[in-house]
Amino acid sequence: MKKTTALVLYVLICITSLAAQGPAPTWFKISDMGFDDEEGGVIAVDEHNCYYDLIWGINYTVPHTQNCVVKYDSMGQIVWRTFLPYPASTKPDSIIQLLRDLIYSNDQHLYVASPILGEVNYEILIHKINTAGQIVWQKSYGFDNDSVTVGFYGLTPAVNGNGLIIAGRTTNAYPNRRLLLMRIDSTGAMLWKRLYTIPPNHVGFGIPVVQMPNGDIKIAFDNGWLADFKDYWISLDSLGNEQLVRKSAFNESCKDLALHPNGNLVYLSEEDNAQQNQKDGMRTHMLTPDLDTLWTRLFYDYDPPYYFIRGSARNISIAPDGKILVSGFNTMHCALVCYSPTGEMLWTREVVMPDELGNCTFNYACWSDDGRSILLDGILYGINENGNTDSRKTFFIKLSDVGCLTPGCAQTILTSTKDGRQAGVKEFSVMPNPTHGPAKILSTDNNTDYTIRIFDNAGRLIHEEFQPEPVTTFDLGTQPPGIYHILFYKGDGRIVREKIVKI
């Protein structure tokens, strides 16, 4: 515990020192809500630039799952935390699926959506919370003969300022799954609800929804279980009547949908390489209200030391001036990409946690209300005073409006770039090094499967192999002389890096 505390204090001191050098305050916080295991979810920002983080936690006693909303001030200090109760009908011995969405609505209240497993069916639970952290009401919604769940990013405020729209799906097995849409007012009263049979009768967990200024409703959903991996966008009127359905031209998996100040829509997905059946990067679209594509951009990064290939897209956030921020996560680091409204890439940053703090996941990124800073949250693994290396704690970072900790940064790195290996233990050896061509890799860990990828110094992938054996051979004989980067993708999520020189 003393060692962990010292490391955390060291990181905080370093970041505070960095923040003092520039005009924008930056900070790094580790939360502890008292759970045995916890995970940060979605960030919401109010007009005073106070931040709200949605956190779910698991305890080792019944009830297993608890959830809370935490309010931070502009310097990341906790103002309050509110734990969310569940209805008596919820199964107390079940692990509730993680919270799906948190929004700050134009009625100056927070709305939280989560699925609940009741005695009969899944239903959707909504909590309404005021800015003092008091729960105004909690209500669950469902259908008599269907089990339903809310989608990730499945909430949007109603344009008239009264209540919200909820998107989700039934939990029926394919091909009988249906899309769900509900409209409730600010008291939680149900105004209407619909179920849609949509081609090809499959929708995953990512079901983002927005309402246009004219009242039309737009929903995105994926077709990730079928052969061509196409996403769909559906347009409905203000009463939920279907207007049109569009199918994406790309092989991708739905992540987020947002309304842009110019009246168009921004859509984020994970690009899918059909040949390798792997996620290859983040694809961002600008769509018209009629769901036609104005422009599309694919972000991936083959350059060392931090590669963003086959990464997971996370979310969209749009600044008041129209800049588009998309975030993604790839094994040990976060990629932040900023586009102009016309699709020009303005900047990209990569955020990596201190090596000493262990593995991590990055979950969500968003602009502050005034667009002058960026909030980023995620999960650290192995932070536990009881020595439980599987424990997780939520961290929270504030960056400048160009994703920097210091002015003029080329990239945001919170760590050294040393290899991800245990101190004093060399997990992989490459020999001979340098080589005229033939070489072999020796692994000291015979119990862990791993994938090997070799890149040239320009970041081009020249060799890939899944290899559970302790010895792997390869040949650079056809490659020009130079430095080559070998990445070992371990089964525990870590990446170990080595270099080999071809002479």
Residue 156 confidence (pLDDT): 97
Ranking 26-35, 110-119, 132-141, 492-501 by mean pLDDT, the lowest is: 492-501
Task: Report pLDDT for 350.
Answer: 86
Query: Which strands, in side-by-side order, build the sheet including 312-318?
Result: 312-318, 324-330, 333-339, 345-352
Cα gap 10→330, rounded to integer Å: 26
Q: The tokens of 444 are what?
A: 């000291």
SS3 per-residue string spanning 312-376: EEEEEEECCCCCEEEEEEECCEEEEEEECCCCCEEEEEEEECCHHHCCEEEEEEEECCCCCEEEE
CB 109 within 8 Å of CB 130: yes
Task: Establish whether the linkage from the previous residue to 63 is cis, with ω within 30° of 0.
Answer: yes
Q: Report the candidate in 365, 359, 361, 356 with the shortest Cα–Cα distance to residue 379.
A: 361
What does the block give as tokens for 249?
Answer: 């031209």
Instruction: Name, of 6-20, 50-64, 177-191, 401-415, the range with top average pLDDT.
Output: 177-191
Tokens 């990445």, residue? Answer: 487
* Strand partners for 395: 30, 378
Pairwise CA distance, residues 106 & 59, whole Å: 34
Structural domains in the chain?
1-30+269-284+293-418 (no CATH), 32-129 (no CATH), 142-259 (no CATH), 428-502 (2.60.40.3080)
Question: Strand, coil or helix: what is 8?
Answer: helix
Q: How far apart are CA 415 and CA 354, in angstroms?
A: 4
Q: What is the pLDDT of residues 129-184, one digit of tens each?
A: 999 999 999 999 998 888 999 999 999 999 987 899 999 999 887 778 899 999 99
What's the CA gap between 201 and 146, in Å, rounded? Answer: 15
Alpha carbons 233 and 248: distance in angstroms, whole number: 8
Average pLDDT, the chain: 81
DSSP 3-state of 429: strand
Vertex 330 angle, CA 325 and 331, to 5° = 145
The answer to whether 165 and 156 are in contact (CB under 8 A) is: yes
- Give me the residues paired with residue 380 across strands: 360, 393
Residue 378 to residue 396: CA distance in whole angstroms:
7
Render pLDDT for 367-417 as a digit per residue (tens, 0 to 9). 999 999 999 998 887 655 544 445 788 888 899 898 887 666 766 665 433
Residue of 349, 360, 324 lying closest to 406 (CA atoms) = 349
Give residue-wise pLDDT tens across range 308-360.
777 789 999 999 999 999 999 986 788 999 999 999 999 988 888 765 566 78
Assigned token pair, 310: 């086959």
Question: DSSP characters for 388-409?
Answer: -TT-EEEEEEEEETTS-SSTT-
Integer-rounded Cα radius of gyration of the chain: 23
Instruction: Tell me which H or E stretch contains 381.
Output: strand 373-381
The pLDDT assigned to 429 comes to 82
Give the Cα separation of 471 and 430 in Å (integer).
Answer: 10
Confidence of residue 492 (pLDDT cuts 50, 70, 90): low
The number of beta carbons lying within 10 Å of the beta carbon of residue 300 is 19
Bridge partners, 475 (sequence order): 438
Q: How confident is the model at residue 17 (pLDDT cuts 50, 70, 90)?
A: very low
- The count of residues in the chain is 503
Query: What's the rounded Cα separation, in Å, for the pair 407 and 100?
Result: 35
Residue 455: pLDDT band (50, 70, 90) is confident
